[in-house]
A and B are shown apart, each in its own frame.
Chain A
Amino acid sequence: MAGEGDVGTSISEPATNATGAEFASWVSPHITAMTRLAGRLAQPADRDDIVQEALVRAWQRRHTYDPSRGEVLPWLLAIVADRARRSRARRLPEDVHDVGAAAHSVGARSPAQPDRDLDLERALHALPKRERLAVALYYFVGLGITETATVMGVSAGTVKATLHHARSRLRNFLGGER
C-alpha cells in the first residue's frame, strides 16, 4: 500500500536543451514532495535551501536523467536526500536536529497530541539513517513502496523489511506508551 498523501510521478521528461523556464515547469509538480523530504531530513531552517540546492543540482545534471531507469520524482528525491546529507555533514556533531521544533509545529495545530508527537518525533530521530529515510519517503512524502525503493536504490522487498524493522524499533523506543 502506498503511503498516505501519495504524490504522483510525472510522465514527461526534461529535454537536455530545455530552457530554465521549461525546466522550472517540469519540476514544479514535484516541489511539494521534494520539500516534504527536505523537511524530514534537515533542520526546518535549512529546508528551502536544500530544495533550492537540489533544483540547481538537477538542472546542472539534467542530461544524466535516464527515463528508462525510472520516473523523474525518485530521481529528484535522491538528489534532495543527497543535499540533505551534505547539509548535515556541514554541521558540527553538537548541532543536533531540533526534534522539538518539528513536533511542536505539528502540536500547534493539534493541541491534544503534542506530547505523543514529541515522543514519536524523538523516536524517529533515533532510527538508523537508512530506516529514517525509508520512513520519511513512505509515510511523510507519501511515496509507494516501489518509488521508495527507487529513491533508495534497493528492491521493494528491502524497503518493506526496512520499514518493518523501523516500526519494530519505534515500538520499542516508545515502550509501553499508548
Chain B
Amino acid sequence: MSDIDEVDQRLRDYAHRWRASQPPPLSVDASVFTRPAPPQRRRWILVFAAACTMVLLAAGGVALAGKLTNQPRPPLSSPRPNPTASDVIAWAPLSPTGAQIPTTSAPESPDPSRAAALPQCRVADLRASTEMAGAMGTRIITVTLTSSVECQLAGYPSVDALDPSGRTLAVPTYRNTGLENYNGPTAVSDSTPAVLTLQWSYQWCAAPINVGKLRITLPANSGSFTVTGFGPSACVNSPTPSYREPIAIGPIQPHDYQPAHTMTEFNDVTVSLVVPHVAVSPGDTLRFTVSLHAPALHDVTLNPCPDYTIWLKGYSEATETYALNCPAVPHHDAAGNPLLPAGSVVFFAMQVTLPFADRPSSGTTLFLGWRLNTEEQTGSSALLTVA
C-alpha cells in the first residue's frame, strides 16, 4: 500500500470515528422559516453577497476546469431528465466486462511557463493577509499574497521571528521541501493569489519567547514585509531539554495549484437519477432511471463500454455491478461505435431488488447510489425511505 493509500485509509477510518462521535443534528424547527426577514437593506446586501459568491465560485470553477483539462467546459445548466418511456433504454442485466477506459494525463496547473515571463514582484505592489490554524501541537500561518501589478515570485522567502516590539529573536528556520510542491515561478495578481505556509510546533523549551511578528523577506532579496506572528512559545513533548523548534518555511506557490493527474473521456459526464417511488419496502424491486449528460462540446465514445455499480446502504447493504447497455444506445459514430453525442442526455432504465430483511421501522433511510466504473467514478445518489 502506498503512502497516499495509507493516508486515504487513515482519513476514512478517522472520518468514520469522527461521524460516530458527533452529537445528533438539530431538528428542523419550521417556525424559523416564518420569522420576520432581516431589514430590507441588509437582506439585499446578504443576497447580493451570496449571489456574488456563487457566481465567483462557478466562474472560478469553470476557469479552473478549463485550465486543468484544456477541454471544453461542461454545460452549466443541463436539462432535468424527464424522459418518456420511448426515450429510455430498456433494463438489461449485462455481465460486467471489467473494461478499462483509456485515460489521458492533465498537466499540473497553472502552467509555470506563463509566470516565467512576468516581472519580479516588488514588495510595494504586494498585499499580505494571514490566517492561523492549528492548536495543541503545531501552529500554521498561511500568508496570502496579492499584487495590484501582475508579477511573479519563485522559491522560498527567508523569515525572521520578531518580538512584539519588533526586535529580532534567535529562532532557527528551515525550508520545508518535503511537500509535493509546485515547481516554478508563481504569478501573483489580485485575482491569482500566491500562498506561503509557515509552521511552528509547540516544542520551544529554551527561555520562553513571544513571536509577535514575522518579517518575510522575498526571494532574491527583493524586499520584506511584516505579518502577525505565532505568539508565545510553548514546550510540549520536547525531544531534548532546551530544544528550540525551528520555523518551517514552505515555498511560494499558486493558491490553486493542482498536480498533474489522469482522467478519461467521462470526466465531464454528469449523472442524474430519477426514482419514481422513494417510499420502499424490503424485497421490492426498485425501478429507476439513470441519465448520462454528455459535455456540451465533445462526444463521449462508448467503446470500450464501461461497467457501472448500483449500491444500497441503510438497513442493509448491497452492491451490484453490470455492463452499461451500450449496444442499445441509439447514437453512433462514423465507425458504428455507440456514443453519447455532445450535449445529449441518454436515459437507461435500471432496477435493483432491495435486500430482504426483518422489517425495518417505517421512516428508516436507505441510500441508493449509482456510479460509472471509470477513473472518475462519476455517479449520483438518492435518498429512499422505508414505507
- Chain A residues with CB under 8 A of B357: none
Q: In the complex, what residue of chain A is closest to B309 when comparing beta carbons?
A: A1
Q: Is B278 an interface residue (CB 8 A)?
A: yes
Q: Is B79 an interface residue (CB 8 A)?
A: yes
- Chain A residues with CB under 8 A of B34: 20
CB within 8 A of A11: which of B22, B74, B382?
B382
Contacts A4-B12, A10-B383 aside, 7 further interface pairs with beta carbons under 8 A come to A66-B77, A78-B57, A79-B50, A147-B380, A153-B57, A155-B69, A157-B69
CB of B26 within 8 A of CB of A23, answer: no
CB of A24 within 8 A of CB of B77, answer: no
- Chain A residues with CB under 8 A of B179: 168-169, 172
| Given A1-B377, A24-B33, A172-B179, A69:B21 Cβ within 8 A | no
CB of B367 within 8 A of CB of A6, answer: yes
What distance in Å separates the Cβ of A127 from its nearest Cβ neighbour in chain B? 9
Q: Is A16 an interface residue (CB 8 A)?
A: no
CB of B259 within 8 A of CB of A164, answer: yes
Q: How large is the interface on B (under 10, 10 to 19, 20 to 34, 35 or more residues)?
A: 35 or more
Report the separation of the CA atoms of residues A168 and B178 in the bound assembly, to the nearest whole angstrom: 10
Which chain B residues have a beta carbon within 8 Å of chain A's beta carbons?
Answer: 3-4, 6-8, 10-12, 14-22, 25-35, 37, 43, 46-47, 50-51, 53-54, 57-58, 60-61, 64-65, 68-69, 74, 76-80, 106, 130-140, 142, 178-180, 195, 197, 199, 228, 231, 255-259, 261, 263, 267-268, 270-275, 278, 313, 365, 367-369, 371, 376-384
CB of B261 within 8 A of CB of A52, answer: no
Report the separation of the CA atoms of residues A157 and B267 in the bound assembly, to the nearest whole angstrom: 6
- Chain B residues with CB under 8 A of A71: 272, 380
| Given A122-B136, A172-B180, A145:B378 Cβ within 8 A | yes
CB of B25 within 8 A of CB of A61, answer: no
Report the separation of the CA atoms of residues A12 and B275 in the bound assembly, to the nearest whole angstrom: 10
CB of B18 within 8 A of CB of A6, answer: no
Report the separation of the CA atoms of residues A23 and B313 in the bound assembly, to the nearest whole angstrom: 26
